[in-house]
Structure 1
Amino acid sequence: MDNHHKHRKSIVNRLAKIEGHVRAIKKMTEEGRDCNDLLIQLSAVRSAVDSCGKLILKDHLEGCLIEAVKSGKEAEMLKQLNDSIDKFIK
């Protein structure tokens, strides 16, 4: 892992928790649990995914963007960042 992605370990850990949570929701669904319970759990997963996205954005801003500025590729990186934000915040 390169040193300008300082949040990657935390991101991987959060994704593992999200994966486990989604598996638990699937099991709840198979067991016929109440729709309200399922919706509450899905809301928690959505929030966790958004939080993970924020960490990835921090990595991008604190690492990738800084590296792009140092190497003179800031215009290309800003375009890529704008595209990524547009896709993430649909």
Structure 2
Amino acid sequence: MIRLRIQYTHWPRRALILTDTPRPDCWACGGEGGHNRDYGDYETGEYAGTDWEPCPCWHENRRWVLLPLPRLPRPWRRRHTVPDPWGPDGYSDEPPF
């Protein structure tokens, strides 16, 4: 049984997608979709990183595009016009005396 959910994605294009979710009553992952597995360096035994092992109760790359969304026209896009107060073109760094 597939448990579907609608999500927004912006890569490779803006779209609404339908995606699968982990089974909430899965005995192996407890509804989280997988497990983190820590591993160590072979020579020293020190911590070297963490791997994500997905659970077989769902497929994290199973998704379908529902609605491709158009790009916003250039005047409607957000612009960052507020200068950075700590940047070179920002406010003065003189103390307020």
Task: Please indicate the TM-score interval, normalised by the length of the shorter structure.
Answer: under 0.3
- The answer to which structure has the higher helix fraction is 1
TM-score normalised to structure 1 length: 0.25
- The answer to which structure has the higher strand fraction is 2
Bigger Rg, which one? 2
Where relative contact order (Cα < 8 A, 6+ residues apart) is larger, the structure is 1
TM-score normalised to structure 2 length: 0.24
